[in-house]
Homo-oligomer: A and B are copies of this chain.
Amino acid sequence: MKIQAPYLLFLGDASDELSIKMAKGVADWRPELCIGEYKLDGCQVTTGQPSMDIATAKAAGAKTFVLSFANSGGTIDASWIPHILEALENDMHVVSGLHQKLTDIPAIKALAKQRGLDLIDIRHPTQTFCTGNGQKRSGKRLITVGTDCSVGKMYSSLCLERGMKARGIDVDFRASGQCGILIAGDGVAIDCVVADFIAGASVSISPANDSEHWDIVEGQGSLSHPAFAGVSMGLLHGAQPDAILICHALNRTSMRGIKNKPLPSIEQTIALNLAAAHVTNPNAIIAGIAVNTSSVDEQQALDICRQISQELGYPCVDPVRHGVEPILENIL
Protein backbone atom coordinates (compact mmCIF):
# COMPACT_ATOMS: atom_id res chain seq x y z
CA MET A 1 0.00 0.00 0.00
CA LYS A 2 1.52 3.27 -1.17
CA ILE A 3 1.25 6.10 1.38
CA GLN A 4 -0.38 9.10 -0.29
CA ALA A 5 1.51 12.40 -0.23
CA PRO A 6 1.68 15.17 0.73
CA TYR A 7 1.92 14.50 4.46
CA LEU A 8 1.01 16.62 7.47
CA LEU A 9 3.61 15.59 10.09
CA PHE A 10 1.98 15.27 13.51
CA LEU A 11 4.62 15.75 16.24
CA GLY A 12 2.31 15.48 19.28
CA ASP A 13 3.92 17.06 22.30
CA ALA A 14 7.39 15.69 21.55
CA SER A 15 10.11 17.42 23.52
CA ASP A 16 13.36 15.98 22.15
CA GLU A 17 14.93 15.55 18.72
CA LEU A 18 15.28 11.79 18.99
CA SER A 19 11.56 11.25 19.39
CA ILE A 20 10.81 12.97 16.05
CA LYS A 21 13.49 11.03 14.14
CA MET A 22 10.83 9.71 11.79
CA ALA A 23 9.42 13.17 11.01
CA LYS A 24 12.93 14.61 10.61
CA GLY A 25 13.90 11.80 8.26
CA VAL A 26 11.10 12.47 5.83
CA ALA A 27 11.46 16.28 6.13
CA ASP A 28 15.20 15.98 5.41
CA TRP A 29 15.00 13.48 2.55
CA ARG A 30 11.61 14.06 0.96
CA PRO A 31 10.59 17.66 1.70
CA GLU A 32 8.48 17.50 -1.45
CA LEU A 33 6.27 14.89 0.28
CA CYS A 34 5.62 17.19 3.27
CA ILE A 35 3.19 20.06 3.50
CA GLY A 36 3.87 21.07 7.10
CA GLU A 37 4.04 19.99 10.71
CA TYR A 38 1.30 20.00 13.34
CA LYS A 39 2.31 20.40 16.98
CA LEU A 40 0.50 20.34 20.29
CA ASP A 41 1.16 22.66 23.22
CA GLY A 42 4.41 21.66 24.86
CA CYS A 43 6.09 20.43 21.69
CA GLN A 44 9.62 21.85 21.79
CA VAL A 45 11.08 20.55 18.53
CA THR A 46 10.63 21.16 14.81
CA THR A 47 11.35 19.46 11.52
CA GLY A 48 11.82 22.86 9.88
CA GLN A 49 8.53 22.41 7.98
CA PRO A 50 5.96 25.21 8.38
CA SER A 51 3.71 24.78 11.40
CA MET A 52 0.02 24.63 10.52
CA ASP A 53 -3.31 23.43 11.81
CA ILE A 54 -5.24 20.57 10.26
CA ALA A 55 -7.76 22.70 8.34
CA THR A 56 -4.96 24.81 6.82
CA ALA A 57 -3.05 21.69 5.82
CA LYS A 58 -6.19 20.26 4.23
CA ALA A 59 -6.74 23.47 2.26
CA ALA A 60 -3.11 23.25 1.11
CA GLY A 61 -3.71 19.74 -0.22
CA ALA A 62 -2.49 17.40 2.58
CA LYS A 63 -3.59 13.82 1.90
CA THR A 64 -2.15 11.95 4.90
CA PHE A 65 -1.82 12.75 8.61
CA VAL A 66 1.30 11.07 9.94
CA LEU A 67 1.96 10.26 13.60
CA SER A 68 5.69 10.66 13.04
CA PHE A 69 7.08 10.62 16.56
CA ALA A 70 8.02 7.94 19.06
CA ASN A 71 7.12 7.70 22.72
CA SER A 72 8.02 5.28 25.45
CA GLY A 73 5.87 2.18 25.07
CA GLY A 74 4.52 3.17 21.67
CA THR A 75 0.96 3.65 22.85
CA ILE A 76 -1.51 6.18 21.42
CA ASP A 77 -2.20 8.75 24.14
CA ALA A 78 -5.88 9.54 24.68
CA SER A 79 -5.11 13.25 24.27
CA TRP A 80 -4.07 12.68 20.65
CA ILE A 81 -7.28 10.97 19.58
CA PRO A 82 -9.32 14.15 18.96
CA HIS A 83 -6.57 15.38 16.60
CA ILE A 84 -6.55 12.10 14.71
CA LEU A 85 -10.34 12.28 14.40
CA GLU A 86 -10.08 15.86 13.16
CA ALA A 87 -7.65 14.74 10.45
CA LEU A 88 -10.10 12.02 9.37
CA GLU A 89 -12.92 14.57 9.34
CA ASN A 90 -10.71 16.56 6.97
CA ASP A 91 -10.50 13.53 4.66
CA MET A 92 -6.91 12.65 5.41
CA HIS A 93 -5.67 9.09 5.61
CA VAL A 94 -3.76 8.38 8.84
CA VAL A 95 -0.37 6.70 9.15
CA SER A 96 1.23 5.71 12.45
CA GLY A 97 4.65 4.41 13.35
CA LEU A 98 3.65 3.64 16.94
CA HIS A 99 3.32 0.16 18.35
CA GLN A 100 -0.35 0.43 19.34
CA LYS A 101 -2.57 0.14 16.29
CA LEU A 102 -4.83 2.92 15.07
CA THR A 103 -7.30 0.18 14.18
CA ASP A 104 -7.50 -0.87 17.84
CA ILE A 105 -9.16 2.42 18.78
CA PRO A 106 -12.87 2.03 17.99
CA ALA A 107 -13.62 5.74 17.41
CA ILE A 108 -10.76 6.04 14.93
CA LYS A 109 -11.61 2.79 13.19
CA ALA A 110 -15.29 3.71 12.86
CA LEU A 111 -14.70 7.19 11.47
CA ALA A 112 -12.10 5.98 8.97
CA LYS A 113 -14.48 3.29 7.76
CA GLN A 114 -17.38 5.71 7.50
CA ARG A 115 -15.33 8.15 5.42
CA GLY A 116 -13.55 5.49 3.33
CA LEU A 117 -10.08 6.48 4.55
CA ASP A 118 -7.03 4.30 5.18
CA LEU A 119 -5.45 3.66 8.58
CA ILE A 120 -1.89 2.44 8.04
CA ASP A 121 0.03 1.07 11.02
CA ILE A 122 3.43 0.76 9.38
CA ARG A 123 4.87 -1.32 12.21
CA HIS A 124 2.25 -4.00 11.58
CA PRO A 125 2.64 -5.54 8.13
CA THR A 126 -0.69 -6.74 6.75
CA GLN A 127 0.69 -8.41 3.63
CA THR A 128 0.93 -12.18 3.27
CA PHE A 129 4.50 -13.21 2.54
CA CYS A 130 6.00 -16.34 1.01
CA THR A 131 9.07 -17.95 2.55
CA GLY A 132 12.34 -17.14 0.77
CA ASN A 133 13.16 -19.40 -2.16
CA GLY A 134 16.77 -18.41 -2.80
CA GLN A 135 16.16 -18.00 -6.54
CA LYS A 136 18.05 -15.27 -8.41
CA ARG A 137 15.98 -12.26 -9.44
CA SER A 138 16.87 -9.86 -12.25
CA GLY A 139 18.13 -6.39 -11.36
CA LYS A 140 21.01 -5.21 -9.18
CA ARG A 141 20.88 -4.76 -5.43
CA LEU A 142 22.98 -3.14 -2.74
CA ILE A 143 22.25 -3.53 0.96
CA THR A 144 23.57 -1.44 3.83
CA VAL A 145 24.67 -3.43 6.88
CA GLY A 146 26.12 -2.29 10.18
CA THR A 147 28.68 -2.97 12.87
CA ASP A 148 25.76 -2.09 15.18
CA CYS A 149 22.16 -0.85 15.11
CA SER A 150 21.56 2.86 14.42
CA VAL A 151 24.88 3.59 12.74
CA GLY A 152 23.50 5.39 9.69
CA LYS A 153 22.29 2.62 7.36
CA MET A 154 19.19 4.53 6.25
CA TYR A 155 21.01 7.81 5.65
CA SER A 156 23.80 6.00 3.79
CA SER A 157 21.20 4.23 1.64
CA LEU A 158 19.52 7.51 0.79
CA CYS A 159 22.88 9.15 -0.01
CA LEU A 160 23.61 6.29 -2.42
CA GLU A 161 20.21 6.63 -4.05
CA ARG A 162 20.78 10.36 -4.50
CA GLY A 163 24.27 9.80 -5.86
CA MET A 164 23.05 7.23 -8.37
CA LYS A 165 20.14 9.41 -9.45
CA ALA A 166 22.59 12.26 -10.08
CA ARG A 167 24.40 9.94 -12.48
CA GLY A 168 21.16 9.12 -14.26
CA ILE A 169 21.00 5.56 -12.94
CA ASP A 170 17.61 3.86 -12.57
CA VAL A 171 17.54 3.36 -8.78
CA ASP A 172 15.11 2.96 -5.88
CA PHE A 173 15.58 3.24 -2.15
CA ARG A 174 13.83 0.20 -0.60
CA ALA A 175 12.63 0.65 2.95
CA SER A 176 12.72 -1.98 5.71
CA GLY A 177 11.91 0.24 8.71
CA GLN A 178 9.18 2.63 9.65
CA CYS A 179 11.09 5.84 8.97
CA GLY A 180 12.27 4.53 5.62
CA ILE A 181 8.73 3.47 4.72
CA LEU A 182 7.49 7.01 5.25
CA ILE A 183 10.30 8.30 3.03
CA ALA A 184 9.82 5.71 0.29
CA GLY A 185 6.02 5.72 0.55
CA ASP A 186 6.05 1.94 0.92
CA GLY A 187 8.13 -0.97 2.22
CA VAL A 188 7.96 -3.51 5.04
CA ALA A 189 8.90 -3.07 8.72
CA ILE A 190 10.98 -6.23 8.54
CA ASP A 191 11.46 -6.58 12.29
CA CYS A 192 7.68 -6.91 12.68
CA VAL A 193 7.33 -9.86 10.30
CA VAL A 194 6.84 -13.42 11.65
CA ALA A 195 10.27 -15.08 11.83
CA ASP A 196 9.55 -17.75 9.20
CA PHE A 197 8.93 -15.04 6.61
CA ILE A 198 11.83 -12.59 7.15
CA ALA A 199 13.69 -13.60 3.99
CA GLY A 200 10.45 -13.87 2.01
CA ALA A 201 9.39 -10.39 3.11
CA SER A 202 12.82 -9.15 2.12
CA VAL A 203 12.31 -10.60 -1.37
CA SER A 204 9.07 -8.63 -1.61
CA ILE A 205 10.90 -5.40 -0.66
CA SER A 206 13.22 -5.65 -3.68
CA PRO A 207 11.34 -7.67 -6.32
CA ALA A 208 12.66 -8.64 -9.76
CA ASN A 209 13.41 -5.58 -11.86
CA ASP A 210 15.10 -4.46 -15.08
CA SER A 211 18.58 -5.91 -15.39
CA GLU A 212 20.30 -2.51 -15.04
CA HIS A 213 18.03 -1.23 -12.25
CA TRP A 214 19.52 -0.79 -8.76
CA ASP A 215 17.66 -1.31 -5.52
CA ILE A 216 19.33 0.23 -2.48
CA VAL A 217 17.96 -1.90 0.35
CA GLU A 218 17.90 -0.27 3.78
CA GLY A 219 19.51 -2.70 6.23
CA GLN A 220 18.40 -3.34 9.81
CA GLY A 221 20.27 -4.23 12.98
CA SER A 222 23.61 -6.01 12.74
CA LEU A 223 24.73 -9.61 12.33
CA SER A 224 26.71 -9.02 15.54
CA HIS A 225 23.83 -7.66 17.60
CA PRO A 226 22.68 -10.18 20.26
CA ALA A 227 19.03 -9.13 19.92
CA PHE A 228 18.46 -8.42 16.24
CA ALA A 229 20.90 -10.45 14.13
CA GLY A 230 18.14 -12.81 12.98
CA VAL A 231 16.37 -9.88 11.35
CA SER A 232 19.61 -8.72 9.71
CA MET A 233 20.32 -12.24 8.42
CA GLY A 234 16.92 -12.85 6.84
CA LEU A 235 16.87 -9.38 5.29
CA LEU A 236 20.35 -9.94 3.83
CA HIS A 237 19.44 -13.36 2.41
CA GLY A 238 16.23 -12.09 0.81
CA ALA A 239 18.02 -9.06 -0.67
CA GLN A 240 20.59 -11.35 -2.40
CA PRO A 241 22.85 -8.29 -2.70
CA ASP A 242 25.37 -7.78 -5.48
CA ALA A 243 27.09 -5.25 -3.24
CA ILE A 244 27.23 -4.61 0.51
CA LEU A 245 27.94 -1.24 2.12
CA ILE A 246 29.41 -1.64 5.61
CA CYS A 247 28.16 1.13 7.94
CA HIS A 248 29.93 2.10 11.15
CA ALA A 249 29.63 4.84 13.76
CA LEU A 250 32.67 6.25 15.55
CA ASN A 251 33.10 6.35 19.30
CA ARG A 252 30.53 3.76 20.38
CA THR A 253 31.62 2.08 23.60
CA SER A 254 29.02 -0.72 23.64
CA MET A 255 26.51 -2.18 21.22
CA ARG A 256 23.23 -0.32 21.22
CA GLY A 257 21.06 -1.31 24.18
CA ILE A 258 23.48 -4.03 25.34
CA LYS A 259 25.65 -3.64 28.44
CA ASN A 260 29.42 -4.12 28.10
CA LYS A 261 29.27 -5.50 24.59
CA PRO A 262 32.13 -4.19 22.42
CA LEU A 263 31.39 -3.58 18.75
CA PRO A 264 32.82 -6.02 16.21
CA SER A 265 35.62 -4.68 14.05
CA ILE A 266 34.88 -3.55 10.51
CA GLU A 267 36.92 -6.55 9.27
CA GLN A 268 34.77 -8.96 11.31
CA THR A 269 31.64 -7.28 9.98
CA ILE A 270 32.89 -7.67 6.42
CA ALA A 271 33.64 -11.36 6.96
CA LEU A 272 30.31 -12.15 8.65
CA ASN A 273 28.26 -10.33 6.03
CA LEU A 274 30.11 -11.71 3.01
CA ALA A 275 29.77 -15.27 4.33
CA ALA A 276 26.04 -14.77 4.87
CA ALA A 277 25.47 -12.95 1.57
CA HIS A 278 27.16 -15.73 -0.40
CA VAL A 279 24.29 -18.06 0.60
CA THR A 280 22.00 -16.29 -1.89
CA ASN A 281 24.52 -14.47 -4.09
CA PRO A 282 27.95 -16.09 -4.46
CA ASN A 283 29.13 -12.97 -6.33
CA ALA A 284 28.34 -10.45 -3.58
CA ILE A 285 31.14 -7.93 -3.02
CA ILE A 286 31.91 -5.18 -0.52
CA ALA A 287 30.96 -1.81 -2.04
CA GLY A 288 32.83 0.16 0.59
CA ILE A 289 32.62 1.50 4.10
CA ALA A 290 30.38 4.33 5.32
CA VAL A 291 31.44 5.92 8.58
CA ASN A 292 29.16 8.11 10.66
CA THR A 293 31.75 10.70 11.75
CA SER A 294 29.32 13.07 13.45
CA SER A 295 31.23 12.78 16.74
CA VAL A 296 34.51 14.22 15.31
CA ASP A 297 35.59 17.33 13.38
CA GLU A 298 36.06 17.66 9.61
CA GLN A 299 39.77 16.97 9.53
CA GLN A 300 39.54 13.98 11.86
CA ALA A 301 36.69 12.61 9.74
CA LEU A 302 38.81 12.79 6.59
CA ASP A 303 41.84 11.29 8.33
CA ILE A 304 39.87 8.39 9.79
CA CYS A 305 38.18 7.53 6.50
CA ARG A 306 41.52 7.67 4.66
CA GLN A 307 43.14 5.42 7.24
CA ILE A 308 40.33 2.83 7.15
CA SER A 309 40.44 2.82 3.35
CA GLN A 310 44.20 2.26 3.32
CA GLU A 311 44.07 -0.48 5.92
CA LEU A 312 41.17 -2.45 4.44
CA GLY A 313 41.46 -1.69 0.75
CA TYR A 314 37.91 -0.46 0.23
CA PRO A 315 36.60 3.05 -0.43
CA CYS A 316 35.63 4.69 2.87
CA VAL A 317 33.61 7.89 3.30
CA ASP A 318 31.13 9.59 5.56
CA PRO A 319 28.31 9.70 2.98
CA VAL A 320 26.72 12.76 4.60
CA ARG A 321 29.98 14.75 4.77
CA HIS A 322 31.93 13.45 1.81
CA GLY A 323 29.38 12.11 -0.65
CA VAL A 324 29.42 8.61 -2.09
CA GLU A 325 31.44 8.97 -5.30
CA PRO A 326 34.28 6.58 -4.32
CA ILE A 327 31.69 3.91 -3.51
CA LEU A 328 29.83 4.41 -6.78
CA GLU A 329 33.16 4.26 -8.66
CA ASN A 330 33.81 0.91 -6.99
CA ILE A 331 30.54 -0.78 -7.91
CA LEU A 332 29.47 0.78 -11.24
Contact = CB atoms under 8 A, between A and B. Distances in A.
A232 B189 CA distance: 20
Contact of A226 (B193, B195, B261, B280): B280
Given A134-B255, A134-B259, A224-B279, 9 more contacts: A133-B257, A135-B259, A194-B195, A195-B230, A196-B227, A199-B229, A229-B233, A230-B230, A230-B233
Contacts of A259: 133-135
Nearest to A131: B227
A227 B134 contact: yes
Nearest to A199: B227
B134 A258 contact: yes
A180 interface: no
Interface of A: 131-135, 190-196, 198-200, 223-235, 237, 255, 257-259, 261, 271-272, 275-276, 279-280
Contact of A134 (B191, B223, B226, B279): B226
A231 B195 CA distance: 6
List the 9 closest A-B pairs by CB distance, nearest first.
A230-B234, A134-B226, A132-B227, A198-B230, A191-B196, A230-B230, A131-B227, A233-B233, A230-B233
B229 A276 contact: yes
Contacts of A191: 194-196
A283 to B, nearest CB: 15
Contacts of A134: 226-227, 255, 258-259, 261
A255 B115 CA distance: 50
A135 to B, nearest CB: 7
B135 A228 contact: no
Contacts of A192: 194-196
Contacts of A229: 199, 233-234, 237, 276, 279
Nearest to A261: B134
A217 to B, nearest CB: 15
Contacts of A234: 195, 229-231
Nearest to A132: B227
B226 A230 contact: no
30 contacts: A131-B228, A131-B257, A133-B257, A133-B258, A133-B259, A134-B227, A134-B261, A190-B195, A191-B194, A195-B231, A195-B234, A196-B227, A196-B231, A198-B230, A198-B231, A199-B228, A223-B233, A223-B276, A229-B233, A229-B276, A229-B279, A230-B230, A230-B231, A230-B232, A230-B233, A230-B234, A230-B235, A271-B275, A272-B275, A275-B275
A42 to B, nearest CB: 30
B194 A194 contact: yes
A220 to B, nearest CB: 9
A279 B264 CA distance: 9
A258 B226 CA distance: 28
A66 to B, nearest CB: 22
A235 B279 CA distance: 19
A192 B198 CA distance: 11
A221 to B, nearest CB: 9
Contacts of A233: 223, 229-230, 233
A234 to B, nearest CB: 3
